[in-house]
Protein backbone atom coordinates (compact mmCIF):
# COMPACT_ATOMS: atom_id res chain seq x y z
CA UNK A 1 0.00 0.00 0.00
CA UNK A 2 1.25 3.46 -0.73
CA UNK A 3 0.28 6.96 -1.73
CA UNK A 4 -0.22 7.38 -5.44
CA UNK A 5 1.13 10.90 -5.61
CA UNK A 6 4.37 12.35 -4.41
CA UNK A 7 4.54 14.48 -1.28
CA UNK A 8 4.56 17.72 -3.26
CA UNK A 9 1.83 16.72 -5.69
CA UNK A 10 -1.47 14.89 -5.64
CA UNK A 11 -1.56 12.82 -2.46
CA UNK A 12 -4.41 10.46 -3.36
CA UNK A 13 -4.01 7.08 -1.67
CA UNK A 14 -4.55 3.73 -3.29
CA UNK A 15 -3.54 0.11 -2.86
CA UNK A 16 -0.31 -0.85 -4.55
CA UNK A 17 -0.40 -3.64 -7.07
CA UNK A 18 3.26 -4.19 -6.13
CA UNK A 19 2.34 -4.81 -2.50
CA UNK A 20 -0.67 -6.91 -3.48
CA UNK A 21 1.56 -9.04 -5.71
CA UNK A 22 4.09 -9.37 -2.92
CA UNK A 23 1.33 -10.46 -0.57
CA UNK A 24 0.33 -13.20 -3.01
CA UNK A 25 3.93 -14.35 -3.39
CA UNK A 26 4.48 -14.43 0.37
CA UNK A 27 1.43 -16.68 0.75
CA UNK A 28 2.61 -19.24 -1.80
CA UNK A 29 5.00 -22.12 -1.37
CA UNK A 30 8.53 -20.89 -2.05
CA UNK A 31 11.99 -22.38 -1.82
CA UNK A 32 14.02 -22.29 1.38
CA UNK A 33 16.48 -19.60 0.25
CA UNK A 34 13.61 -17.26 -0.61
CA UNK A 35 12.04 -17.92 2.80
CA UNK A 36 15.35 -17.06 4.47
CA UNK A 37 15.50 -13.84 2.47
CA UNK A 38 11.95 -12.97 3.55
CA UNK A 39 12.81 -13.61 7.21
CA UNK A 40 15.94 -11.48 6.92
CA UNK A 41 13.97 -8.57 5.49
CA UNK A 42 11.21 -8.94 8.07
CA UNK A 43 13.60 -8.32 10.93
CA UNK A 44 12.31 -5.29 12.71
CA UNK A 45 13.20 -3.19 15.70
CA UNK A 46 11.91 -5.68 18.28
CA UNK A 47 8.66 -6.19 16.35
CA UNK A 48 7.75 -2.50 16.49
CA UNK A 49 5.48 -1.33 13.67
CA UNK A 50 6.28 2.36 14.08
CA UNK A 51 7.01 5.11 16.54
CA UNK A 52 6.34 8.83 16.28
CA UNK A 53 8.72 11.64 17.12
CA UNK A 54 6.82 14.23 19.22
CA UNK A 55 9.30 16.98 18.32
CA UNK A 56 8.32 17.10 14.64
CA UNK A 57 5.63 14.45 14.02
CA UNK A 58 7.78 12.26 11.79
CA UNK A 59 7.69 8.45 12.12
CA UNK A 60 10.17 5.60 12.02
CA UNK A 61 8.80 2.35 10.60
CA UNK A 62 9.83 -0.83 8.80
CA UNK A 63 8.47 -1.48 5.29
CA UNK A 64 8.62 -4.14 2.58
CA UNK A 65 11.52 -3.40 0.18
CA UNK A 66 9.09 -2.48 -2.64
CA UNK A 67 7.27 -0.05 -0.34
CA UNK A 68 10.58 1.46 0.81
CA UNK A 69 11.39 2.14 -2.84
CA UNK A 70 8.04 3.87 -3.40
CA UNK A 71 8.30 5.97 -0.22
CA UNK A 72 11.78 7.14 -1.21
CA UNK A 73 10.95 7.76 -4.88
CA UNK A 74 7.84 9.77 -4.04
CA UNK A 75 9.47 11.90 -1.38
CA UNK A 76 7.45 10.69 1.61
CA UNK A 77 10.52 9.85 3.66
CA UNK A 78 14.13 8.75 3.76
CA UNK A 79 16.04 5.60 4.68
CA UNK A 80 17.46 5.47 8.20
CA UNK A 81 21.23 6.18 8.00
CA UNK A 82 22.05 2.81 9.60
CA UNK A 83 19.61 0.76 7.48
CA UNK A 84 21.76 -1.29 5.10
CA UNK A 85 21.72 -4.75 3.50
CA UNK A 86 25.36 -5.44 4.41
CA UNK A 87 25.91 -7.93 7.24
CA UNK A 88 28.12 -5.39 9.05
CA UNK A 89 25.15 -3.09 9.57
CA UNK A 90 23.08 -5.94 10.96
CA UNK A 91 25.25 -5.79 14.06
CA UNK A 92 23.48 -2.53 14.82
CA UNK A 93 20.04 -4.22 14.54
CA UNK A 94 18.61 -1.73 12.05
CA UNK A 95 16.74 -3.56 9.26
CA UNK A 96 17.18 -2.44 5.63
CA UNK A 97 13.49 -1.46 5.43
CA UNK A 98 13.72 1.00 8.34
CA UNK A 99 12.68 4.46 7.12
CA UNK A 100 11.65 7.83 8.47
CA UNK A 101 8.37 9.16 7.06
CA UNK A 102 7.90 12.91 7.17
CA UNK A 103 5.14 14.43 9.28
CA UNK A 104 1.86 15.04 7.43
CA UNK A 105 1.08 18.72 6.85
CA UNK A 106 -2.66 18.41 6.22
CA UNK A 107 -5.55 15.93 6.31
CA UNK A 108 -4.84 14.62 2.80
CA UNK A 109 -1.22 13.85 3.67
CA UNK A 110 -2.35 12.28 6.94
CA UNK A 111 -4.43 9.75 4.97
CA UNK A 112 -1.37 8.83 2.92
CA UNK A 113 0.82 8.47 6.01
CA UNK A 114 -1.86 6.21 7.50
CA UNK A 115 -1.64 4.03 4.36
CA UNK A 116 2.13 3.82 4.83
CA UNK A 117 1.57 2.80 8.47
CA UNK A 118 -0.89 0.10 7.31
CA UNK A 119 1.78 -1.19 4.90
CA UNK A 120 4.29 -1.30 7.78
CA UNK A 121 1.82 -3.17 9.98
CA UNK A 122 1.27 -5.73 7.21
CA UNK A 123 5.02 -6.17 6.69
CA UNK A 124 5.83 -6.53 10.39
CA UNK A 125 2.84 -8.65 11.45
CA UNK A 126 1.70 -10.33 8.25
CA UNK A 127 -1.88 -9.12 8.73
CA UNK A 128 -3.72 -6.20 7.18
CA UNK A 129 -5.19 -3.46 9.36
CA UNK A 130 -8.84 -2.57 8.90
CA UNK A 131 -9.60 0.91 7.67
Instruction: Please answer whether residues 104 and 110 qualify as being in contact, where contact means their C-beta atoms are separated by less than 8 angstroms.
Output: yes
* pLDDT for 49: 86
* pLDDT, average across residues 76-84: 76
**Residue 52 reports pLDDT greater than 80:** yes
DSSP 4: S
pLDDT band at 124 (very low <50, low <70, confident <90, very high): confident
Cβ-Cβ contacts under 8 Å for 52 (sequence gap 6 or more): 58, 59
**Residue 69 reports pLDDT greater than 90:** yes
Domain ranges of the chain: 2-125
Put simply, whether the predicted model's pTM sits higher than 0.75 gets the answer no
Strands 77-79 and 2-3: what pairing?
A: unpaired
* pLDDT for 129: 76
Amino acid sequence: MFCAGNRNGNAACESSSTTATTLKVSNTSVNNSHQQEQRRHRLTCNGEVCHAHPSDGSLHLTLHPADVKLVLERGWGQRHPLARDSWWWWLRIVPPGFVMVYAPRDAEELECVLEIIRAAAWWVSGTELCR
